C-alpha cells in the first residue's frame, strides 16, 4: 500500500506544517514549513511484547532502507515520524519515536524557549529514569516526565500532569509564546493521543491532527485505492491522501486527549489543566 500523501511524501511536501516564530519558517506564507528533512524514525509492537525501533538522521524521502523496512515489517501498532528541526541539534538520539520500558512516544510542536526551561523540567524527571535520556530535545523530556507521572498506570493523568508542568514553567518564566503539541504514546495495545496549545495565547493554534476509524479507503500513488481492515485505526498529522474527505478524516479536538484501543471507537477527554498553580 502506497498512499499518495504517505509519511515519506510528507517529509518532502508537508501541507499543514506551521512553525510560528521560527526565523526560517517566517520566509514562508503563514509560517508554513514544507520540509521534514531532519531525520525520521519508526517504532512498533514487536515479538514477545518487545518494541522495535529504527531511526536515522537523513531525510525519509531519500532512504531506501526505510522503504524496504516498511514493505517487510508487520505489527499491530506502529508509530512513525519525520522531523523538522531548523536550528536544533540533528542527531539520531533526537529522532522520534522514543522508546523506554515498553512505551513509545513522539511529538509535533515545541516547548517555547526550551533551553531556558530545560534544566528545571529535566530535574522533575524521576532520578531512576534520568540516565535513559540520551538526547537534548524537548520531546524526550516530555516523554520522561509522562513516564515519571505514571504513564504506564494512568496515561490520561500522566499526560495531563506533563502538560501542566510545562505550562507552569512557561508561566513562571513569563514566556509569551505558546506550548504547542500533538503527542502520541503507545504500549502496543493502546494509543494515547494529545492535542494542545496554550489557551492563554489568543489566536494560537495547535498542530494539526486527524484520525480515521474503520475500513478506510486510501488513494494510492498509481491512481488506485486500497482499503484498510475493518478494525484499522489511524492517527496522523496530515491525512494520507492529497484529496481527502472530512467523512473519512476527523480532526482531533484541540485541548483533548484521545484513547484508542482495538475494536473500540476512540474516546476523547478535555485536558483538565490547572493553569493557576
The pTM of the full predicted model, rounded to 2 decimals, is: 0.93
In which band, very low, low, confident or very high, does the pLDDT at 165 lie, cut at 50, 70 and 90? very high
By the 8 A CB rule, do 176 and 198 touch?
A: no
Q: What is the pLDDT of residues 56-69, one digit of tens each?
A: 999 999 999 999 99
Q: What is the pLDDT of residues 178-212, one digit of tens each?
A: 999 999 999 999 999 999 999 999 999 999 999 99
Q: Is the pLDDT of residue 8 over 90?
A: no
Quote the CA–CA distance of 112 and 19 in Å, as a whole number.
Answer: 11
Amino acid at each position: 500500500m502506497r498512499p499518495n500523501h504517505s509519511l515519506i511524501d510528507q517529509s518532502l511536501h508537508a501541507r499543514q506544517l506551521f512553525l510560528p516564530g521560527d526565523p526560517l519558517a517566517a520566509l514562508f506564507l503563514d509560517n508554513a514549513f514544507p520540509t521534514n528533512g531532519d531525520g525520521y524514525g519508526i517504532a512498533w509492537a514487536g515479538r514477545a511484547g518487545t518494541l522495535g525501533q529504527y531511526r536515522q538522521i537523513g531525510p525519509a524521502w531519500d532512504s531506501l532502507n526505510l522503504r524496504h523496512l516498511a514493505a517487510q515489517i508487520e505489527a499491530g501498532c506502529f508509530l512513525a515520524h519525520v522531523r523538522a528541526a531548523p536550528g536544533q541539534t540533528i542527531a539520531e538520539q533526537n529522532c522520534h519515536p522514543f522508546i523506554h520500558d515498553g512505551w513509545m512516544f513522539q511529538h509535533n510542536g515545541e516547548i517555547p524557549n526550551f533551553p531556558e526551561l530545560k534544566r528545571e523540567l529535566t530535574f522533575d524527571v524521576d532520578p531512576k529514569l534520568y540516565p535513559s535520556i540520551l538526547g537534548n530535545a524537548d520531546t524526550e523530556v516530555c516523554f520522561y516526565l509522562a513516564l515519571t507521572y505514571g504513564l504506564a498506570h494512568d496515561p490520561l493523568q500522566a499526560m495531563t500532569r506533563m502538560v501542566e508542568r510545562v505550562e507552569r514553567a512557561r508561566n513562571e518564566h513569563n514566556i509569551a509564546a505558546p506550548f504547542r503539541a500533538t503527542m502520541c504514546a503507545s504500549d502496543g495495545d493502546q494509543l494515547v493521543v494529545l492535542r494542545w496549545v496554550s489557551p492563554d495565547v489568543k489566536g494560537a493554534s495547535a498542530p494539526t491532527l486527524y484520525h480515521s476509524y474503520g475500513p478506510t479507503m486510501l488513494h494510492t500513488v498509481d491512481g488506485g485505492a486500497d482499503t484498510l481492515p475493518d478494525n484499522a485505526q489511524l492517527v496522523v498529522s496530515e491525512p494520507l491522501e492529497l484529496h481527502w474527505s472530512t467523512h473519512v478524516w476527523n480532526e482531533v479536538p484541540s485541548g483533548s486527549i484521545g484513547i484508542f484501543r482495538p475494536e473500540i471507537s476512540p474516546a476523547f477527554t478535555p485536558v483538565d489543566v490547572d493553569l493557576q498553580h
